[in-house]
Structure 1
Amino acid sequence: MEPVPVPAPARRTRRAALLAPALLAAAAVAFLAQRPLGRHHAGWNGWVGTANGIVFLAAAALPVALLAVWALARRRRAAGAEPGWARRSALAEVGAVYGTVPWVWMILLPGVDPGGPRRRVNLVPLHDVAEIVAAGPPATAVAQIVGNMLVFAALGFLLPLRFAALASTWRVLALGAACSVLVEVAQYALRLDRVSSVDDVLLNAGGAALAALASRRWWRRPAA
């Protein structure tokens, strides 16, 4: 029996859904190669309590994520789903989780004095961004701003491919803002000694919206 060719729209949406986790994995490898784990971060805390350790674990988890995509798509095809849609939905769901959890994990790492009385809040828009730009080299400022914009970029890029209700830039913007507010509230409530800032919400939500615009051409569900 000859193999059934995959329609062009299905191939395009599959490549689009693979793009976000592939880029994030490449960024993780590049980050790890530049800043390897140091001796002062040895032990369990070096893996789960530092940015470098989280990046390494995210890169190591990529094969597990790909296996989850394969298993989920196979299960949906067995249940009668159209093959292109089964692959696309599995990639979008797993990719959104894989591309978001490490960022949120890093955001919720404690600061210097976790559990202490200090709770820092900034409700003045663009105040923190201005301080970042003024305080350090341009490359450092750009890295921090872009890093904030990538926190929910995977959600913004992939979820509209999976859920028709989210196939709207404004809805993705609102979703990114809501998720960011939850993270900022968690930082404050858990006394992590981190700044709960409105600028983080603006950058997180803006990054999600821009990622949604980048995937807009693939929002339409492939024909069965």
Structure 2
Amino acid sequence: MTPERSARLRAVLERRQPDLTLVTDFVNKQRNLSAIVRNCDAAGIMAIHAVLGEEDYRAFRGTAMGSHRWVEVHRHAAVDEAISGLQAQGYQVLAAHLGEGARDYREIDYCKPTAVLLGAERRGVSVEARARVDGFITVPMMGMVESYNVSVASGIILAEAQRQRAEAGLYDQCRIDRATYRRLLFEWAYPDLVEYCTERGLAYPPIDEAGDLVVPSAWYAAVREGRAPLAGESEAH
């Protein structure tokens, strides 16, 4: 890995926001999901939560592999599972929905742990989600159409979240724990080696602070001889 590539990956990782995320509530159009993932990457989001059926999820992964390298997508079979899990971690979960008590999206404090929930393209936020979220937010409209495309709405809302967090200095220091940082640095830098390790159930080889492999020849020799640690046996990130 070149020094320039290493510096770029580390700079992006050091701006990742572990307490800002999106939840998609059966948004199943592949182009919208892919655009949402790209918007998340641009705002420094580490992971999103997608409520999708198995078939839609497989199709999504097949069309968005490039984006998946930078933003982890956690799939949920039911929206209440995604919402309750985030609320248990202290997130405010806010649905983009013009419901009773909906607030202008710019009035929200996005420096708090926040999850923005986006509904499906036609039916919007589901009844189940509306009953579980902590509140509603809306993007004011000045024309005849009632709402923005879901991926466009995500970009608008995330731009405001990014603005607030930048002003608060939340992008100025690394906010990811060391183990997660080193895991992601390895996965971003060595996708082919990640696939190799995953297929064989191997722990990742060790890397240094710059993301370079530590004595790679020794690791490859251990693999050939069957001495390389299996996943979960050592902290090799």
Answer yes or no: same fold by TM over 0.5: no
* TM-score between the two structures when normalised by the length of structure 1: 0.23
- Identify, as 1 or 2, the structure richer in strand: 2
- Identify, as 1 or 2, the structure richer in helix: 1
